[in-house]
């Protein structure tokens, strides 16, 4: 009898401790540089966000019926949907969408999360979140590792082409490509994203190369109709160093040659013969990345400053 009573006490104590831990973990969550009490001054809004990040679907619906607004937003803060993303809580995210949260709503909050996300952003996974001013949940979901967030955002009206934020990349497709999220890229294009979407400084395949060295993603874009500024894409491909995607780099360059691009495309490689002893037959090896420009000896009168051209020896 004493044993059963002791066991019951331990079990109840453990359950209470677990509840406290869940509650504390939820309320201590930081997103875009603040915690929930700092993000919302209204108690009802605070309760709604806590229910969302804990994935309490019934409580979310109940609070909305009581008057909580799923699109409530305070100055210099972020939409509630982004809190669900920071908490990495699919259930809370979907429930909030079901009760009317707008995945395209932008906020003006910005900053880091508290590093308890377990690999949330990007194909490599980062143990923190970083939100920029003007982001919507749709924009953030495009670079979150779990594709279910993006699927739900699109399902509930997320605009796949809307640029959001004060910092590049603003476009969901470019962001997904930059983070090397291949399945996100395919999903966005299948949902109507403009394959040629671009900013003044980048496009999706360019970002795939410069961000994660994903020549395979850039190849996919060309295979699916991408045709915006191929010369600029060629420059990005030529400049990117050799990595595990060497064969895909060569394939991409060959595809661009077939489309009329003449390599080398950068001044560095076009004029390399003036400064290093590079046989004409070896120049494309440098372009493909099979060889490094520094593998070839400098011409007389130049010293090795570790650049492709070297530097003139001072008088």
Q: What is the pLDDT of residues 145-171, one digit of tens each?
A: 999 999 999 999 999 999 898 777 899
| 264: preceding bond cis by omega (within 30 degrees) | yes
Tens digits of residue pLDDT in 10-21: 444 444 433 333
The pLDDT of residue 122: 56
Band of residue 210 on the pLDDT scale cut at 50, 70, 90: very high
Are the C-beta atoms of residues 69 and 41 closer than 8 Å to each other? Answer: no
Q: Return the minimum-mean-pLDDT range out of 25-29, 225-229, 254-258.
A: 25-29
The pLDDT of residue 113: 85
Are the C-beta atoms of residues 106 and 79 closer than 8 Å to each other? Answer: yes
Q: What residues does each domain of the chain span?
A: 19-238
Q: Can you tell me the mean pLDDT for 227-239?
A: 98
> Which of 36, 118, 27, 110 has the alpha carbon at shortest distance from 76?
110
> Which of 209, 287, 289 has the alpha carbon at shortest distance from 247?
289
The contacts of residue 156 (CB under 8 Å, 6+ apart) are 97, 98, 101, 103
> Which of 193, 197, 202 has the alpha carbon at shortest distance from 232?
202
Please check the confidence at residue 120 and state whether its pLDDT lies above 80.
no
Please check the confidence at residue 242 and state whether its pLDDT lies above 90.
no
CA 295 to chain centre: 35
The contacts of residue 226 (CB under 8 Å, 6+ apart) are 195, 196, 203, 204, 205
Band of residue 229 on the pLDDT scale cut at 50, 70, 90: very high
Q: Which residue has the higher pLDDT, 3 or 89?
A: 89
Tens digits of residue pLDDT in 82-94: 999 999 999 999 9
Band of residue 25 on the pLDDT scale cut at 50, 70, 90: very low
The pLDDT of residue 4: 52
Q: Return the minimum-mean-pLDDT range out of 110-119, 153-162, 189-198.
A: 110-119
Give the max Cα distance, the chain: 98
Q: Can you tell me the mean pLDDT for 58-62?
A: 96
d(CA 157, CA 150): 11
- pTM (2 d.p.): 0.87
Band of residue 2 on the pLDDT scale cut at 50, 70, 90: very low
The segment with the largest mean pLDDT, out of 15-24, 70-79, 241-250, is 70-79
Band of residue 315 on the pLDDT scale cut at 50, 70, 90: confident
Q: Which CATH architecture has domain 19-238?
A: Alpha Horseshoe (1.25)
Please check the confidence at residue 53 and state whether its pLDDT lies above 80.
yes
pLDDT mean across residues, the chain: 89
């Amino acid at each position: 009898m004493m044993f059963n009573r002791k066991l019951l006490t331990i079990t109840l104590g453990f359950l209470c401790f677990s509840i406290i831990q869940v509650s504390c973990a939820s309320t201590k969550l930081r997103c875009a540089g603040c915690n929930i009490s700092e993000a919302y001054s209204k108690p009802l809004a605070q309760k709604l966000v806590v229910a969302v990040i804990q994935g309490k679907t019934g409580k979310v619906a109940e609070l909305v019926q009581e008057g909580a607004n799923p699109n409530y937003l305070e100055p210099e803060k972020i939409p509630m949907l982004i809190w669900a993303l920071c908490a990495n809580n699919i259930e809370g995210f979907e429930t909030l969408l079901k009760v009317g949260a707008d995945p395209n709503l932008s906020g003006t909050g910005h900053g880091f999360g508290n590093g308890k996300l377990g690999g949330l952003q990007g194909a490599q996974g980062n143990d923190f979140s970083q939100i920029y001013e003007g982001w919507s949940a749709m924009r953030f979901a495009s670079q979150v590792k779990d594709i279910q967030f993006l699927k739900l955002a699109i399902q509930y009206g997320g605009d796949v082409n809307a640029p959001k934020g004060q910092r590049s990349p603003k476009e969901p497709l470019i962001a997904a490509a930059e983070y090397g999220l291949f399945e996100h890229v395919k999903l966005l294009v299948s949902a109507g994203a403009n394959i040629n979407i671009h900013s003044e400084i980048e496009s999706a395949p360019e970002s795939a190369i410069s961000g994660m060295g994903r020549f395979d993603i850039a190849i996919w874009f060309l295979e699916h109709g991408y045709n915006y500024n191929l010369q600029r894409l060629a420059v990005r491909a030529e400049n990117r160093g050799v990595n595990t995607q060497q064969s895909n780099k060569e394939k991409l360059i060959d595809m661009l040659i077939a489309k009329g691009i003449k390599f080398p495309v950068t001044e560095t490689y076009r004029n390399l013969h003036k400064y290093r002893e590079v046989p004409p037959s070896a120049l494309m090896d440098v372009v493909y990345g099979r060889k490094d420009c520094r593998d070839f000896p400098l011409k007389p009168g130049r010293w090795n400053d570790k650049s492709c051209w070297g530097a003139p020896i001072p008088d």
